[in-house]
């Protein structure tokens, strides 16, 4: 078979319901290198501060709904993304996603080694 399908809720969310949800879909889609995740953040929610230096993975974030603020370099810079905006991040760029808006934010996160 030349394709795989998955639903966002096939895996368990790794984020508590009160903050939204995050679903890692790499295993469900059977990808070798490409990571795909769905992140939903309630107002006031935030993702984990991290970089991908060890994995060498660059990431792209696509905002499907709402607004997301991406803090870079330990809060030295913030990029605001609205619906249909994207950002690509180098592996060594520290990042943290925040929802400081009034509605739930929904993002598709894509990553692969360089």
Choose the CATH number for 25-113 among 2.60.120.10, 3.40.50.1820, 3.50.50.60, 3.30.1330.10. Answer: 2.60.120.10
In 1-114, beta strands by DSSP E = 20-24, 35-41, 57-65, 68-72, 77-81, 86-89, 95-98, 105-113
Contact of 27 with 37, CB cutoff 8 Å? no
Share of the chain above pLDDT 90, in %: 89
Task: Using the structure block, give the residue that is written with the tokens 């469900």.
Answer: 28
Strands 86-89 and 20-24: unpaired
Residues 104, 20 contacting (CB under 8 angstroms)? yes
Q: Domain segments of the chain: what residues?
A: 25-113
Q: What is the pLDDT of residue 18?
A: 87
Instruction: Summarize pLDDT for 16-72 with one digit per residue, the tens.
Output: 888 899 999 999 999 999 999 999 999 999 999 999 999 999 999 999 999 999 999
Distance from first CA to last CA of the chain, Å, rounded? 27
- Asked whether residue 2 carries a pLDDT value surpassing 70, the answer given is yes
Distance CA 16, CA 74 (A): 24
């Amino acid at each position: 078979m030349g394709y795989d399908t998955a639903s966002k809720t096939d895996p368990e969310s790794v984020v508590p319901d009160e903050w939204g949800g995050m679903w890692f879909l790499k295993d469900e889609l059977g990808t070798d290198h490409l990571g795909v995740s769905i992140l939903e953040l309630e107002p006031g929610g935030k993702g984990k501060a991290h970089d991908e230096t060890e994995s060498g993975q660059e990431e792209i974030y696509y905002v499907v709904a709402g607004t997301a603020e991406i803090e870079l370099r330990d809060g030295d810079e913030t990029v605001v993304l609205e619906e249909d905006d994207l950002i690509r991040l180098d592996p060594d760029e520290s990042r943290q996603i925040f929802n400081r808006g009034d509605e739930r934010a929904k993002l598709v996160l894509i990553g692969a080694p360089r």
